[in-house]
Structure 1
Amino acid sequence: MVKIYTKSGDKGRSSLFGGRKVKKSDLRIEAYGNVDELNSLIGTILAENPSKDIAKKLTRIQNELFVLGSDLATPLGVKIKIPRVNRPYILRLEKEIDAWQKGLPQLKKFILPGGSKIGAKLHLVRSIARRTERSIVRLAQQDAINAKNIIYINRLSDWFFVAARYVNKLEKIKETEWKGRG
């Protein structure tokens, strides 16, 4: 039986794809750790039994996030062939966003995150995606990465925002507008 623990990280270091050892506080580790957290939270949405269509899209995104995580864990130039985030991932998100937005009321004010259980969790995932994006941008300022990673995670957070609105509309839950200065 293969053990889950290797003890290789017990001194606060981890290996990237390609073998380079880095501290667990490294921006690259933080970035793909945030991707992992985002992916896990999507799993909690799937546990709420969303519609078949949403579940299918979320499962696809979970698979894409594994690609994003491995892309971030593999420095450019390392001679390991891995899948990388590419333009079709981004275009697919944009197509879905555009299709959903056609049936949603135009926003005139900010809306408060919430709604149904699934809608509220989609808003939470959106905010985690934004944090993930910030960590990927910090990494890109320090080290070369696939430029599509930033575009993908930015579009993905937009996707979660629109998905939350779409799900809440399907469940006939009215959006709560931000009142601003009360």
Structure 2
Amino acid sequence: MQLYTKRGDFGNTNLIGGRTVSKDSTRVDSYGTIDELNSLVGYIVSQIGAEDAMIKNELVKLQHDLFDCGTDLSTPHGVREYKVQKDLVDWIEERIDQYAEEALAIEKFIIPGGDPVAGLLHMARTVTRRSERIIVALSKETTVNPVVAIFINRLSDYFFALARVINHRHGVEEPFYERGGVVFHPDLKKEALPKTKYDD
């Protein structure tokens, strides 16, 4: 199998459906960043031990979901039915809720780190946020699958929650940001809380 085609030698690439665009377009940047995130998740999977086999399997499933997101972002509206549907958002919200219940309540912002896998999950969280910003920019230029945007927004919360669970399960104390006051109030209803950078 020949891996190179030479079709992209002049800075262009083809979308699903045959349309040619520049490789530095917002659309290509959007699904390219999803690919970057997928690669990072693959590395995280390689670093997870047997004691966290269920999380490893869950992340492998997520890699397939990210591939679907990339496919939808590389598909101009109307070319074919989108792969990512609302059930994927429902699934990730359920996972976030479950992980949020497992880790201990916090009152301060967390400095990314702790267990090495938790640190990598925080890296995935920040790449996810960058991906989301690019998707928002793309949505201002053309029609994209809105469910992908919602899913990617939830995904950063998922990585945050999962990083906390990894630290909790491995008995690693989370590093807190010590130069600010209390920002989370676990005993209050969510709608009564001040908005934080983790609420978006």
TM range (shorter): over 0.9
Sequence identity percentage: 39
Question: Separation in 2 of the partners of 1:13 and 1:89?
Answer: 32
The residue aligned with 1:105 is 104
The residue aligned with 1:29 is 28
Question: Separation in 1 of the partners of 2:97 and 2:66?
Answer: 21
3-state DSSP class of the match of 1:38? helix
Matched, 1:64 2:61: no
Contact 2:104 2:168 in 1 (8 A): no
Offset, 1:138: 0.5
TM-superposition CA deviations, 1:152-174 (whole Å, max 9, x none): 00001100000000011000001
Stretches of structure 1 that go unaligned for 5 or more consecutive residues are none
Contact 2:45 2:56 in 1 (8 A): yes
Offset, 1:135: 0.5
Stretches of structure 2 that go unaligned for 5 or more consecutive residues are 181-200
Question: Separation in 1 of the partners of 2:176 and 2:114?
Answer: 12
> TM-score normalized by structure 2?
0.86
Structure 1 segment 143-162 matched on structure 2, within 5 A:
143-162=142-161
Offset, 1:49: 2.6
RMSD (CA atoms)? 1.1
Question: Separation in 1 of the partners of 2:26 and 2:135?
Answer: 8
Offset, 1:107: 2.3
Question: Separation in 1 of the partners of 2:136 and 2:17?
Answer: 22
Matched, 1:95 2:79: no
The residue aligned with 1:39 is 38
Task: For 1:39, give the aligned amino acid.
Answer: N
TM-superposition CA deviations, 1:94-137 (whole Å, max 9, x none): 11111111122222110000011111000000000000000111
Question: Separation in 1 of the partners of 2:152 and 2:175?
Answer: 26
Moved over 3 A (4+): none
The residue aligned with 1:7 is 6
Question: Separation in 2 of the partners of 1:176 and 1:49?
Answer: 21
The residue aligned with 2:16 is 17
> TM-score normalized by structure 1?
0.95
Task: For 2:108, give the aligned amino acid.
Answer: K
TM-superposition CA deviations, 1:59-88 (whole Å, max 9, x none): 01000001000000001111x45x521111
Aligned pairs, how many? 178
TM-superposition CA deviations, 1:134-157 (whole Å, max 9, x none): 011100011100111110000011
Question: Separation in 2 of the partners of 1:24 and 1:40?
Answer: 19
Task: For 2:123, give the aligned amino acid.
Answer: L
Matched, 1:86 2:85: yes
3-state DSSP class of the match of 1:132? helix
Task: For 1:38, give the aligned amino acid.
Answer: L
Question: Separation in 2 of the partners of 1:103 and 1:58?
Answer: 18
